[in-house]
Structure formats: C-alpha cells, structure tokens
C-alpha cells in the first residue's frame, strides 16, 4: 500500500506537490481530465468543460514575437515562458527562445505563435495575458496576470500567488 501524499510521488517532493495541485485544478475545471497521464481528456459531453488556456497573447505581443523569431539566425520552435525566484518582490517572469519542445511543457498555439509554458509555472501563469507595450522611453512584454498580488517599484519582479481550483479561469477557445 502506498503512503498518503501526492499522487505523483513522495509528499516532500516539491515538483510532485505542484503536479498534484495542477491535476486537482484541472480535474476541478474538467471532470474528464485523466490525472494518470495515460490518456487524454474525456470526450466532451454535456457535463465536461474545455481545458483552460494557461496564457493568452494580445495581437501586438503575437506580432512582436513573430518578428523576433523571423529575424533569428537559427530555427526556433517558439518561446518558452516561465517564472523564476528572485528580485525584491520574490519572482520574475522569464522568456527565452525554444529550439525544441520539452515533453513536460504546456503548449499554447495562438495567433501564429507557439508558447511553451514551463510546467513549474503553470499555476502562477493560469489566466495571464501577455502584451507588448511601447512607451515614450521603453518597450517590452507585459504580463497581465490575475494571480499577481504585487510588484516592486522598478517593475522587474512580482509577487504571484498560485491559482486555486475554485478560481474561475477562461476556457480555451
């Protein structure tokens, strides 16, 4: 008999705990979600809901990413998005070229752009919209995140609370 704890591993394993929380959230949002990883979502029926999209892109952000990838000298599969610990507020958003797909990534295909979401960041990014802003003295990607609770004064780091199962998240379209 297995000891009590997360369905995917030891109770003290942080990644296992995060996977278990993600599974519970997805199970809450879609009763047909298969937490074993052996199948896919149940055939949509009257009681099942579509799986939520982790992130959305504005038209401007999608256009800027297409431009950047188009100017790359090497083949790029998409952009990997995540969060990292650090900064005065506790976390910061990360973006990097992705030359290959990591099988653990959550894939978002939207507006001709492919985003690969780091599995450790899914709960922190659930419901986020990525935009691109050009101001008088700066330009850059902006994350409109409903899970963000605060940000530092310089804007380089943020405090993010993981999404909870009872949060209402827009389903994928």
In this prediction, residue 145 carries a pLDDT of 86
What is the Cα Rg of the chain in Å? 17
Domains of the chain from N-terminus onward:
1-49 (no CATH), 55-160 (2.60.300.12)
Please give the biggest Cα pair distance in the chain: 63
What is the spatial distance between Cα 120 and Cα 117, in angstroms, rounded to a whole number?
A: 8
- pLDDT 10s digits, 116-150: 999 999 988 999 999 999 999 889 999 998 888 87
Sign of CA dihedral 1, 37, 98, 145: negative
Nearest residue to 169 via CA among 133, 137, 124: 124
**Tokens describing residue 112:** 């001709």
Q: Which residue has the tokens 């879609």?
A: 30
What is the spatial distance between Cα 129 and Cα 133, in angstroms, rounded to a whole number?
A: 13
**Residue with the larger pLDDT of the pair 73 and 157:** 73
In this prediction, residue 59 carries a pLDDT of 96
What is the spatial distance between Cα 73 and Cα 14, in angstroms, rounded to a whole number?
A: 37
Residue 90 pLDDT more than 60?
A: yes
Mean pLDDT along residues 77-96: 88
**Residue with the larger pLDDT of the pair 148 and 58:** 58
């Amino acid at each position: 008999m297995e000891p009590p704890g997360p369905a995917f591993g030891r109770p003290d394993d942080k990644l296992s705990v995060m996977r278990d929380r993600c599974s519970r959230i997805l199970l809450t949002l879609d009763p047909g979600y298969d937490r074993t990883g052996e199948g896919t979502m149940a055939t949509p029926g009257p009681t099942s809901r579509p799986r939520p999209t982790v992130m959305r892109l504005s038209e401007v952000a999608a256009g800027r990413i297409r431009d950047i990838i188009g100017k790359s000298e090497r083949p790029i599969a998409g952009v990997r998005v995540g969060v990292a610990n650090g900064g005065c507020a506790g976390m910061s958003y990360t973006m990097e070229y992705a030359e290959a797909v990591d099988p653990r990534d959550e894939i978002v295909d939207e507006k001709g752009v492919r985003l690969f979401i780091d599995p450790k960041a899914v709960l922190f990014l659930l419901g986020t919209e990525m935009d691109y802003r050009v101001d008088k003295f700066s330009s850059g990607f902006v994350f409109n995140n409903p899970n963000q609770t605060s940000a530092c004064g310089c804007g380089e780091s943020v405090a993010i609370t993981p999404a909870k199962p009872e949060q209402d998240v827009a389903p994928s379209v």
